[in-house]
């Protein structure tokens, strides 16, 4: 067999698929070894950093020092579109943004790996909190858990006893 024959073999492997598989198997390994809560914690750390970076990128590209609430919602949908998701706005109010999603950016590699949902929670939470002062993110449906779609509720005002993860602006 020659190098040309090997190079022209039709196998479903490219950089994107490799990285999605890598992340999926990494999340699965962490969930299996350390448990779901620890895996979510580790993904949250990465999500915080990604959220900070993505927020700064949008602010710079839009030449603004901060995003208003409608821009925050638009950024959430746009960033997921850019990485292969199919997010859309279900509801948008002064105190809440509700998003739906038909296609996870991690593709089939998210199935059974709900720790990866912390990436969405943290990126959305950081962007919303850094621009509005506060966010609480609750993922009420997730493809990772076997649901047909994702549903993400981003609350922009504190509510005592409400479920979800809270995020606060670094400015206090």
In this structure, how many other beta carbons lie within 10 angstroms of the beta carbon of residue 162? 12
User: What residues contact 100, with CB distance under 8 A and at least 6 apart?
Assistant: 87, 88, 89, 90, 149, 150, 151, 152
pLDDT in tens, the chain (172 residues): 788 888 888 888 889 889 889 988 998 999 999 999 999 999 999 999 999 999 999 999 999 999 999 999 999 999 999 999 999 999 999 999 999 999 999 999 999 999 999 999 999 999 999 999 999 999 999 999 999 999 999 999 999 989 999 999 988 6
Q: What strand order describes the sheet that includes 134-141?
A: 87-93, 96-101, 150-155, 134-141, 165-168
Matching residue, tokens 């900070």: 52
Tokens of 156: 């922009």
pLDDT at 90: 99
Kindly report the pTM of this predicted structure.
0.90
User: What residues contact 89, with CB distance under 8 A and at least 6 apart?
Assistant: 73, 77, 97, 98, 99, 100
Tell me how far apart the alpha carbons of residues 137 and 153 are, in angstroms, rounded to a whole number. 6
pLDDT at 6: 86
pLDDT at 2: 86
**C-alpha distances in Å from residue 145, one per residue of 11, 45, 150:** 29, 21, 9
Superfamily name with CATH number, domain 14-168: Trafficking protein particle complex subunit 3 (3.30.1380.20)
pLDDT at 172: 67
pLDDT at 126: 98
């Amino acid at each position: 067999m020659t190098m040309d024959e090997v190079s022209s073999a039709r196998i479903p492997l490219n950089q994107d698929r490799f990285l999605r598989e890598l992340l999926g198997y990494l999340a699965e390994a962490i969930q299996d070894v350390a448990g779901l809560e620890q895996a979510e914690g580790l993904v949250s750390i990465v999500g915080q950093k990604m959220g900070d970076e993505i927020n700064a990128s949008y602010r710079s590209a839009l030449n603004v020092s901060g995003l208003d609430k409608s821009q925050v919602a638009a950024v959430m949908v746009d960033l997921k579109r850019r990485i292969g998701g199919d997010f859309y706005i279900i509801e948008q109010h002064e105190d809440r943004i509700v998003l739906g999603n038909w296609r996870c950016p991690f593709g089939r590699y998210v199935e059974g790996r709900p720790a990866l949902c912390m990436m969405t929670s943290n990126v959305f939470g950081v962007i919303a909190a850094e621009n509005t002062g506060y966010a609480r993110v609750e993922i009420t449906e997730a493809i990772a858990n076997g649901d047909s779609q994702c549903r993400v509720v981003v609350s922009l005002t504190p509510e005592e006893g409400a479920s979800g993860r809270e995020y606060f602006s670094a400015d206090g």
